[in-house]
Chains A and B, each alone.
Chain A
Amino acid sequence: MAAVEVRDAVVRWGDTTAVDGVSLCVPRGRVLALLGHNGAGKTSLLQVCEGFRRPDSGEARVLGLDPVGDHDELMPRLGIMLQSGGVYPWAAAGEILRLFASFAAHPLDTDMLLDRLGLRRVERTRFRRLSGGEQQRLSLAVALVGRPELVFLDEPTAGMDTEARHTTWQLIEELRADGVSVLLTTHLLDEAERLADDVVIMRSGKVAATGTPAELTAAAGIDLLEVRADPGLDLTGLRTHRKVTETSPGEYAIAGELDTKGLAEVLGWFAAVDAHVTAVSSRRRTLEDVYLSLTTQATVGATE
């Protein structure tokens, strides 16, 4: 049984369709990142999984249960981190964490969590006086304190500084290593690339692409070839199917069709003009390139 299974979910807010027929699956013990711009439907989809909202059509099962109908049974098994709010502004950070800890049968040590998330210093500070990053870290601590099987993290590192972001990433990696399933939303590509076993890229409420980070980038293939050879070659013959520029004397950047045949053609051309090639390097697309090509061009079809 999967940790999360969503089938053809549709979520509408008034006339706007925020989620338009999304299906996804988070296997147990894995980290799935929902990647997309603001307004792509990530939070709406998460709300369906958290049982805050029924989908207008389609279905969600969380740990095999109905997130709305089996809400009370499900809640102790989930850790939920909302994007903002959800906490008494007048309660101190430590009081809030201990309150949520007291709801759980086998809570984590709250002191350990405060230390690890760098909240010890603000333990007695009221929530509304915490910085945005501190509020985020407290929300994360609250989500984890009940030792859940599955956590939902809505933009977990939004508003955090670099150090806190890395601490959070380490925690999420540790969660995964300890067998916790994670569904997180993010618009940070490096976050998805580093943490996720599976990535679902959403665009305008639809799934634009799914796969592991490696699959998503591998499918895109080689994107740029850099060749070092004699300077000042006449590139006319090479330019038929490709974009070629001499970026600096003797450094050639070739973009375009670069499948195996294309690569052979390019190197064949250098051989044909009797050039002395001293270095060849290829650059593969990053998740960022894939993401940008999927989310900025309306013409790119969804791949599933």
Chain B
Amino acid sequence: MSAGTFTPAPGRAPMRTIIGKQLRMELLLTARRGEAVVLAMGVPLLVLLGAGLFEVTNLPTDDRLGFVVPGVLALTVMSTAFTGQAITTGYERSYGVLKRLGASPLTRPGLLLAKTGSVLVQIVVQVAILALVGFAVGWRPHADALLPAAGVTVLAVAGYSGLALLLASVLKPETTTGAATLIYVLMLSVGGIMFAAPDLGTAGWFLLPLAAHAHALRETLMFGGSVPFSIWLSLLLWAVVWLTAAARNFRWE
């Protein structure tokens, strides 16, 4: 090999390129993990078609799709922003990936940005596919209240991500996986997706963010109405509390 091959020429590629490449890798690896794809698309599709089209559960309304589709959208947001992210981040931390990438030209803020971007891209794609499937089988949402629906979704994503990063930082990856899956199943059953959520009044919105998010999506997409103030407040509280806790406790290794 000729001399001068390794002559130093250090430098960082444009930050946009770096984050773009990292984002691509995050998405590629997610797509490669079978269980992540099932969790992200398989379960929501099954719930949407099963509970939306057939009388398998008792719903508080005759408009089965109108009730189920917003719930499934909320469920998908949770599975990607919380369950998937907690599991992935927990393992990446234990494999030393977070530490290694943080110590590259990507930098730690760059890595967090790429991860956030990857979660958002996944959610947009999932919501689009599920909404299209819903539409194809007869779901007819109101289009007037899309903005508040998107607003509560952003808050929900923020809260779920905070809790995911917190769990991944304080628990072992196996424990994180167990806890995140358990919470997912728990929320799936009592979160008001296939059945009506237990009526806990306003307190329920603060305990069950999935139920709150699903309810808000129904109010907007099913009725074209507005999001109850208590739901704005509960999701905002979840986002602030968990993001703050995650920022304080986040560990790279």
Contact = CB atoms under 8 A, between A and B. Distances in A.
Given A85-B95, A102-B21, A103-B21, A116 B1 contact: yes
Given A75-B107, A85-B96, A179 B7 contact: yes
A199 B96 CA distance: 29
Interface of B is mostly: loop
B61 interface: no
Contacts, number: 114
Contacts of A175: 6
B96 A84 contact: yes
B100 A86 contact: yes
Interface in B1-47: 1, 3-13, 17-18, 21-22, 25, 28-29, 32-33
Given A75-B103, A75-B107, A99-B22, A87 B95 contact: yes
A99 B100 contact: no
B12 A87 contact: no
B13 A104 contact: yes
Contacts of A88: 25, 29, 92, 95, 97
B9 A75 contact: no
B96 A86 contact: yes
Given A88-B29, A102-B21, A180 B8 contact: yes
A103 B105 contact: yes
A180 B8 CA distance: 6
Interface in A239-259: none
Q: How large is the interface on A (under 10, 10 to 19, 20 to 34, 35 or more residues)?
A: 35 or more
B104 interface: yes
A72 B107 contact: yes
Nearest to B101: A86
B253 interface: yes
A210 to B, nearest CB: 26
B134 to A, nearest CB: 32
Nearest to B109: A72
B106 interface: yes
A147 interface: yes
B29 A90 contact: yes
B104 A85 contact: no
A91 B100 CA distance: 15
B96 A91 contact: no
Given A82-B96, A95-B25, A104 B33 contact: no
Given A99-B21, A146-B105, A147-B7, A104 B12 contact: yes
Interface of A: 50-52, 71-72, 75-77, 80, 82, 84-91, 95, 99-100, 102-106, 108, 112, 116, 144, 146-149, 174-175, 177-180
6 contacts: A52-B253, A72-B107, A76-B105, A105-B11, A146-B10, A178-B5
> What are the 4 A-B residue pairs with the smallest beta carbon separation, nearest first?
A105-B11, A86-B100, A85-B96, A178-B6
